[in-house]
Structure 1
Amino acid sequence: MEASLRYELRRDLENKKGEQPLTLLIHLSSQRKKVATGIRLIPELWSLEKQQILNLTTKLKTLLQKKYGDNLPKKQTLIQYQDDLIDLKNKVRKIEEGFRSKGIAYSVEMLIEKIKETKEIKIKKEDPTNLVYDFIDRYIQEHELTRVKGSLVVYKSLKHHLKNYEVKTRNKIRFENIDYTFMQSFQNFLIKWEKVHETTGTVNTLNNITIAKQLSTLKTFLGYAKRLGIKVNDGYKDFAIKRDKLEVIALTQDELDQLFTFNLSSNKRLRQVRDVFCFSCVTGLRFSDLQQLKREHIKEIEIRLTVKKTKEPLIVPLNSYSKAILHKYKELVSPLPVISNQKFNKYVKELCKLVGIDDSIEIIRYKGAIKQSTIYKKHEIISAHTGRKTFATLSLEKGIPAETVMKITGHSDYKSFQRYVKVTEERKRNEMQKAWGAPV
């Protein structure tokens, strides 16, 4: 029998900031026990019904700041809290599976004992400077079963850059020393970072987008360490990360139709890649979800699955395009002939080049204050993720409200989704000026 898991706020233990402890209630047979999560929340940010932390929208933030002021947590902190809640539930399920696989009848007390064991923090006392690196390893280990594999690569990269920084500056990295000054110094180090490829002699550098990702990852990690009882210098919170805008590479409706109807009868490999790519373009599914798609996920008029990246349930309505593609492969065990991501990204470029999707696209990146501009043919920068971007952009152009598109794609943050709206508006302007002439 599987334990019932439910999160609840302890209304009787509110601190001076107005926060209440969030506990996990474990119910098994007639036994009920509470487990501390280490998370404290203001009650307005918790949905008991949905069992999740509410999205800190601009409207909600403005409303709550009047009451809580500086005590209001940052959006990134709340995202990390939600991740931790998902991780804790997954941890309990894993413990239960371990008991069941060994044929052991378990109680609530046994579950709690195992949870406590996994929470024990092992610190190498002989060298305090290793603490930061040990915790990065711990974070990776604790999240590898609940996160998409690629999402943890950035933490390994962060560890690598921190060690290089330590060697370069000869400054030992400790939690208590990571303040505003450190963040500024580390950012400058990343801007100047270069690595020469041993074989080709090519010099690799980091652009501002990659640097911002490293710095935001470091902030997330410091918050994680603090919640586990490590004394962390709060100065890092004052450091603002500047984020450059990413271009949205998406197909136009004409390009999608051209691709969808292109004659590939003599090329099975590219025909299948085309169908999988177009399916992403008309459903908005990530490649990881195309890979996990099974027959049981496909209902009469929609797809129902749990998103691999976010672990959230998703409903995607079928349309004439997606229905026609699924019909092609009705005899297969899997709904679609999905190959590896690496091969797919290679073949989809070849496919789009063959079809003639070759408009010139300028990609702008900054390294510090230095602008770097590169011109590509569009087919050179198309990848599996272009399908998802195409769906969002074309759906908005067809008049589907942004809120509806976000529901289908699974976007929870309008700020990250807003770039698709801007692209749509820009296309409207371009088409208007092309048809009627630019304003004088």
Structure 2
Amino acid sequence: MKEHLESEEYVALLNTPCFNQQVKLAFLFSCYTGLRWVDVKRLEWQDLQGGKLITRIIQQKTGKPVVLTLHSIALAILEEIKQLSLGKTVSANKVFSLPTANGANKVLGEWIKRAGVNKYVTWSCAILSFSILLKDKNVDDVTIAYLMGHTTIRQVQQTYKRYKPKDQSEAISHLPSFNIAGVL
């Protein structure tokens, strides 16, 4: 299974400086939206409807339109990007000014290491993390599939799951309890 980030690792990344702020913000945006590298790289300001807190995009992989309600952290990232772009010419209204995929993954690797996350993380990890954390919060497969731009739930059921429980104690606590005094 590919690597994914846990919620405490999200926090570590949020709090760790990165020498390329655009890569940091774009990766975190992917973690909070489930958008793939190609979709984040081509995202334009006109794709965003700030007043309604949603974005309309056509995902490159599926060709399907997806409406995403943006998490408050995704919205804060957009505000930060606006502040970084003040007084600068932004080509073609792109939200993020990013290097090549290889360049971004190199920056990502150094930043991940600096944050103390001991995993091999690439951009696809953001999407997997997004889906697994939603599943951990008992979001249904249909909703996750929609948010990720999938047309069926098959991909969600096969790919976006944990192969081992995050918290075995929590899982065990769901078993029924009763008084066994005198039964055994």
Does the pair score TM above 0.5?
yes
Q: Give CA deviations for 1:155-195 in whole Å, capped at 9, x if unaligned.
A: xxxxxxxxxxxxxxxxxxxxxxxxxxxxxxxxxxxxxxxxx
The ranges of structure 1 where at least 4 consecutive aligned residues each deviate by more than 6 angstroms after the TM superposition are none
2:35–2:148: 8 Å Cα contact kept in structure 1? yes
Secondary structure of 2:63's aligned partner: coil
Deviation at 1:278, TM superposition (A): 0.8
Q: Which amino acid in 2 is paired with 1:338?
A: L
Deviation at 1:433, TM superposition (A): 7.2
Secondary structure of 1:330's aligned partner: helix
Note if 1:288 corresponds to 2:48. no
Aligned position for 1:426: 164
Alignment of 1:394-405 (within 5 A): 394-405=133-144
Q: Which amino acid in 1 is paired with 2:109?
A: K
Match of 1:389 among 125, 128, 131: 128
Secondary structure of 2:66's aligned partner: strand
Aligned partners of 1:419, 1:303: CA distance in 2, in Å?
Answer: 27
Match of 1:413 among 152, 155, 170: 152
Match of 2:7 among 253, 264, 288: 253
User: Hey, which of these two has a bigger chunk of strand by percent?
Assistant: 1
Between stretches 326-335 and 348-357, larger displacement belongs to 326-335
**Structure 1: any 5+ residue segments left out of the alignment?**
1-246, 359-377, 436-440
Note if 1:337 corresponds to 2:75. no
2:81–2:95: 8 Å Cα contact kept in structure 1? yes
Alignment of 1:137-156 (within 5 A): none
TM norm structure 2: 0.80
2:62–2:150: 8 Å Cα contact kept in structure 1? no
Q: Give CA deviations for 1:342-365 in whole Å, capped at 9, x if unaligned.
A: 10111111110111001xxxxxxx
Q: Which amino acid in 2 is paired with 1:403?
A: V
Aligned length: 163
Give the root-mean-square deviation of aligned CA atoms: 2.2
Secondary structure of 2:127's aligned partner: helix
Residue identity over aligned pairs, in percent, reads 25
Deviation at 1:413, TM superposition (A): 3.2
Q: Give CA deviations for 1:87-118 in whole Å, capped at 9, x if unaligned.
A: xxxxxxxxxxxxxxxxxxxxxxxxxxxxxxxx
1:274–1:348: 8 Å Cα contact kept in structure 2? yes
Match of 1:302 among 54, 65, 74: 54
Q: Give CA deviations for 1:220-243 in whole Å, capped at 9, x if unaligned.
A: xxxxxxxxxxxxxxxxxxxxxxxx
TM norm structure 1: 0.35
Secondary structure of 1:417's aligned partner: helix
Note if 1:354 corresponds to 2:110. no
Which structure is richer in relative contact order (CA contacts within 8 A, separation 6 or more)? 2
Deviation at 1:398, TM superposition (A): 2.0
Aligned position for 1:279: 29
From the superposition, tell whether residues 431 and 304 of structure 1 become closer, same or farther in structure 2 (CA, over 3 Å): farther
